[in-house]
Structures are given as structure tokens and as C-alpha cells.
Chain A
């Protein structure tokens, strides 16, 4: 008896599976993938968009920038995502991958900026660091007396007498993270140049001075996983430690932690927006133009995303930690969205 029911259940499951196998076609819900940095903003917009009532709330997956691009460029058709978020600009290789799979027209929409902060507990001192100092504290190899050596610094005041006599202890993202990529590029690379160490790397046979971006692995830099909340908690518990994470986490926890000044500039909204604060990056959303008209609501969703009440200075995305574009740039972006002007691959 039980076996018969089992067979029936199995049959039903098989039928179910095959019935849906061919049914991936029509989709009435926008599907978004991409960067975990853009994720909080896209989800907030998706929710507000869904509440407007005309369309279903889009589904937003957090896949990371690279993973998102791979899915996005997987082809045209409703089994591929419509939009992808990116915490950096699309690469030439990704545009080529897209083109190869038939995704010819991609619309690039810049949604705002994200600052990366170097923060510690409120109980610790406010530091004013240069990129070169941060580089010296975190690089795997530094230049001492003209020679390239493994990073010898264990205390901040060994780097510069003006810095406190505390142990160098920095919690930051792992190499898989987009925040780490941006940090490497914006702080480590320029810090290396400022510290005038590039030549030393080149002299050691490292043509492109890639060693500049290599972070030390002797325990002073602690990879704290992708969970920025955890880093904040650890900073509160240990007043000598520093953390590297997105501006939104600093803003949310401003009563417990403080951001170090970098090159004399405080990590504040206005400074990031105006570009004065040197460690910030642009965030993008890419739209697959071929899906407009196939999946309902894409144009409307992007209009909502780029509207003043979302990505504007007082918009709800600013509440979530997004740093708004200057008005002139924002209006240009709105025109792009209205016309859905695709990227020109030749510009890369």
C-alpha cells in the first residue's frame, strides 16, 4: 500500500518537474543580481517600487559584482537576469562576454557613491592618516632604507611618531569582496605611490608593482568575513583595533565608532559626495535593453531608482547610506534612463 502511494508521489513529482521544465518562459517579475554593496540600495528601491502597486516587487539576489556580470551576460531571455548591480564599472572583458552571448545593448546607470572608511571605537583616538601610512601599516612588504623587506611595523608609532603607540590591528574584508578590491585600488595602490615604493617593487622584478596591493598575512590584518556588522562589534570590544568597511555602517553606528581622517579629510557625507574624501567609488546598475518590453516594469523601475525621492540627497536611499550624485550628473543619468541610451563599447 505504502509503496503504491510512494510510486504515485514519485510520478506526481516527475510530472511536476517536467511541467515546469518547459515553462521558464513568461516572467512578470524583474530579476536583479549583482554586487552586495549595491544590494541594500536596490532592495530598498525594489520594495518601494513594489509598494507603488503597478508591478510585482523585483527579486534581488546578492551575487557579488563579478558573479552578477557573469549571470547578466549569460544571454538574452527570461531565464537570465534583467539588471545587475556593480560596485565598479563594467570591464571590457565583460562587455565582450555579453556581446558574445547576444547581450548587445547594455545601459549603464550610475546611482551614486560609496565611501570606504577606516574606523575605530569612539574610545580610541581620532587618527589623521595618509594613504602612505595606511599602506605602510598593511602592505606585505615595505621599503626600509631603500630595500624591500617584509613589513616590520607592529606599532602605529613606528610608522610615524605622531601616531599612537598601539598595536597595528586592522579588521577588513577578504579578497573576494568588492570593498577589498576598491580598498586595494584606492588606498594601497596610491599609498604605495605616495610612499615612493613603486620603484623598489619594479626593481625587484615586479613589473607592474602588483606587490603594492598585497596585504600582509602576519596577523596584523585580520580578514573578518563579509559581515560588516561583526567588524563593528569587534571594534567596540577592542578600542585599539581598526576596521575597513562601507560608509553606511559608520553612519549607522556613529554613536559607537568613528572614521579616521584620510589625507586630512573626514569621512562625511558632503566630503564623499564632493569627491574630497579620497576613498570612494561609484556604484552602477546595468540594464539589459533587450528585456525592456519583455519583462514588465524595467523602465519604470529604473525611473524610480533614479528619481529624486530615491537617489536624491534627501531620498530614501540616502537614509540607507548611499551618497548622492551631484545634481548635474543625476539629471544626465535621468536622461539616459528615459532614453535608455546603451553604452558605447568603443569607449572602453
Chain B
């Protein structure tokens, strides 16, 4: 091959027609192989895009319906006899009254023909078991309503929601359905009268976890993720930046720093469960910190994010041209002043980008949290760094594992919320980079 090419460069014009044809054939072949290479490249990208679209499409298709929930409007008469017969107006008395009875009366007034005990129970099963608590809280906060008849919208049971969304087939035999014919009859009447309607699912975004799908929300997990990430950022960012500055600007180049450098790079590739085991051994068993706490979760994730931040920060510092440092030193600045006044501010956008990407990574972690007890069912929205909490990806995992069918769409909806957070964090990283980026 090479000697043929050599010949052409020496005597291209004296080549015979035969040689020229050979040259053209070769040229064509080279063009063809380039076209083929491009085609493979496009095919690879298309496959990736198709998978991404399929994945996102199926999640959105399954999850979007979870943002709508089903409510039924009831006329509830807040009978003083039931709620507060002594007229004490004590919030405790008001809250602990039998609101199920009030709801039962309200449903009964809609369907006076329902008489048997069994049918009444089937009818009441259509309403969320959390409805009585909701009504209790409403009356406790507005005691002036006692004695009146108010319109109150209560959540329906998740099965009713599934039926309205078409996830429960009507044409299967009655015994294979979770709702019987009588209940579906009631449902149809409620729909026809306009009392039953779909509305935006605020519970999904404002409440903590629940075993009743209609009451289950993500807020507890969102707050848990927030507390966890605050700890992670608060520890990993300053440590990471300081380590990067020292290694890049001050550390002598010798065996030890080389070792440290190699180890930081290795640490970035350590499986995350290992950090969880470390957290269990050090933070829980040795320091005796509480289980399931965002503080410990944050510490573990900080260990995990640290190498990512150090590597990104070092790259950012390296990108600052030496002329800046030399100018500062030339003007009489000390090395520390050079770093603090010039190198650090100029490399900050790159460091922040690295930090945010590290945080986004940490936001999606479940494995290290398993060991420290954050994979747990927690109803109360966490109130601080040591109260038991869970995080968004764990919530997704727990819902995916629940038998109730309504959790299928909830799982996808939770994934959508997590993705929104991830996209948002990455968008901030891009924005910071674009805004503060300096071209040299």
C-alpha cells in the first residue's frame, strides 16, 4: 500500500490509465468506508435516542395519570351531637370524634336505597380510609362549621381512581375484580351526578408516604433528599475544593502525592454500596449516630461525591492560565493571595459545575443508604437532620415493590419528579458554566 502511494506522489501525472483507474477505485473505496463509518455512528446515536425515547415515553405514559386523582363531593352535615355533644369546643374532643359516621351519613343520604350492612360497607369502601382524618383536621381548624352542612371533597379509594382511569376492567367476572358490580353501580351513579371528578393530585406532592396509594405522597422523600444533599454539599464541597487547591497549587510532586492522586481517581470508581458499609461501620457503630437520619446519609454520600468534586475542581484550577498566577506573583502577591484572589474565583464556575454534577449523582443513590437504614417506610415528613427520613430514589423503590396496582403509576410519577430535579440541577450547572465561563 505505502509503496503504491509513494509512487503516485512522485509521478502522479505520468500514471497510466490503468493506474489512474486503480487510484479512483481506491478513492471510491475510501469514501465508501467513510460513509459506512458515518452511518454506523448515526445508527449508534439513533439506537441510543430510541431507547431514551422509549424509556421516557413509557415512564411518562404510565406516570402522567398519577398527577390526577379522584375526589367525590359530599354534603356532610357536621352534627354537633356527633362531634362535640358537650359543646366543649376543645380541639382534642373535636378531632377525636367519629367522622366515619358523618361520612357514612353523607353517603347514605346520596344513596338512601342502600340498606344491608354488607352493601353499606361496600359503599364506604369507595371512600379513602384517610377521608375521616382529613375531615377531622378540617373541622378542628374551623370549629365554627360545627352544626352546619358543608360541601366537602373527599378522596376516593385508590380502586375507584383505578376504575375511573380505566385500569380496572369491567368485563371480567365479578369475583376477579377488586370492585364488585354493586360498587361499580354506585360509581356510575356518582359519575352521572357529577359528584365524582378527577382533579390535580396535590397529595402526591405535599404529603409523606402512605400505604394507601391515594394518600401516598413524595414530599417526605423530597425533604429527606434535601436535608441529605445539604449535608453532602456542606461537607464534600469545601473539603473537595481545599484538597484540589492543595494538590494543584501547593503540594510537592513526589511519590506520596502521586499515590494520593491515583487513589482519588480509584475512589471515584468504587461501588457505592461500599460507602454504605463504611457509613454503617464508622458513623453508626463507632460514632453512634442515629439510624435512618439524613445527617448520616449526607455524610456517606459526601464521601462518595468527594472524589468527583476533587477531580472536577483540579481540572478547573488547571484551566486557569499560568500567566494569571505569574502576573499576581510578579506584583508581589503571596502564593496564598494568588490562589484566593485570582485562581479560586476564576476556577469557581468549573468547581461549582463539578459539585452540582456530584450532587445530582448523589441524589440518585439508594445502595449506600440501604446499609444505614434510610430504605424505610416513613410517614412523617422529616423535620431536621436527625429525624428519620428517606430519599426520592428509595421512595421509588418502595413503591415499585408494593402490591397495590395504583402504585404502578405512582412509581412512574415519582421517577418523573426525580428526573425533573436531576434536569433542574444539571441546568443550573450549565447555566453557571455559560454565565461565568472565561475564554482565554
Contact = CB atoms under 8 A, between A and B. Distances in A.
Contacts of A255: 168-169, 172, 176-178
B231 A13 contact: yes
B299 interface: yes
Interface stretch (B22-30, B64-72, B189-197, B376-384): B376-384
B206 interface: no
B362 to A, nearest CB: 16
Contact of B401 (A6, A57, A229, A320): A229
A79 B295 contact: no
A60 to B, nearest CB: 4
A21 B299 CA distance: 13
A254 B178 contact: yes
B405 A252 contact: yes
Given A13-B235, A20-B290, A229-B400, A47 B172 contact: no
Nearest to A60: B377
Contact of A227 (B212, B288, B376, B400): B400
Contacts of B210: 47
A79 B283 CA distance: 12
Given A12-B234, A13-B231, A13-B234, A321 B376 contact: no
Nearest to A316: B129
Contact of A9 (B129, B176, B234, B377): B234
Chain B contact residues: helix, strand, loop or mixed? loop
B403 A229 contact: yes
Q: How large is the interface on A (under 10, 10 to 19, 20 to 34, 35 or more residues)?
A: 35 or more
B267 to A, nearest CB: 19
Given A21-B288, A40-B211, A61-B373, A227 B379 contact: no
A158 interface: no
Q: Which of B211, B235, B348 gathers the greatest number of chain A CB atoms within 10 Å?
A: B211
B182 to A, nearest CB: 17
A346 interface: no
Contacts of B401: 36, 226-229
Contacts of A57: 378-380
B410 to A, nearest CB: 12
Contacts of A151: none
Contact of A1 (B133, B293, B340, B402): B340
Contact of A253 (B211, B242, B380, B405): B405
A7 B133 CA distance: 48
Interface string B131-163: 001000000000000000000000000000000
B287 interface: yes
Q: Which of B168, B290, B340 gathers the greatest number of chain A CB atoms within 10 Å?
A: B290
Across the A-B interface, the 10 shortest Cβ-Cβ residue pairs:
A6-B238, A57-B379, A61-B376, A60-B377, A43-B377, A21-B287, A59-B388, A44-B211, A254-B176, A252-B403
Nearest to B208: A57
Contact of A61 (B95, B96, B212, B375): B375
Interface in B289-328: 289-293, 295, 299
B292 A61 contact: yes
Interface in B172-212: 172, 175-178, 210-212
A170 B287 CA distance: 46
A10 B288 contact: no
Given A20-B295, A31-B291, A252-B178, A46 B377 contact: yes
Contacts of A59: 292, 376-378, 388
B404 A252 contact: yes
Contacts of A347: none
Contact of B379 (A2, A6, A46): A46
Interface in A241-255: 246, 248-249, 251-255
Given A10-B239, A40-B403, 13 more contacts: A6-B242, A9-B238, A17-B289, A23-B386, A24-B289, A53-B96, A59-B377, A79-B288, A248-B403, A253-B405, A255-B168, A255-B178, A320-B403
A31 B374 CA distance: 12
Interface in B237-293: 237-239, 241-242, 245, 284, 287-293
B289 A21 contact: yes
A3 interface: yes
Given A254-B177, A254-B178, A255-B172, A3 B211 contact: no
Given A43-B211, A229-B401, A321-B403, A24 B238 contact: no
A46 B376 CA distance: 12
Contact of B287 (A2, A17, A252, A316): A17
Interface string B103-140: 00000000000000000000000000110010000000
Contacts of A7: 238
A11 to B, nearest CB: 10
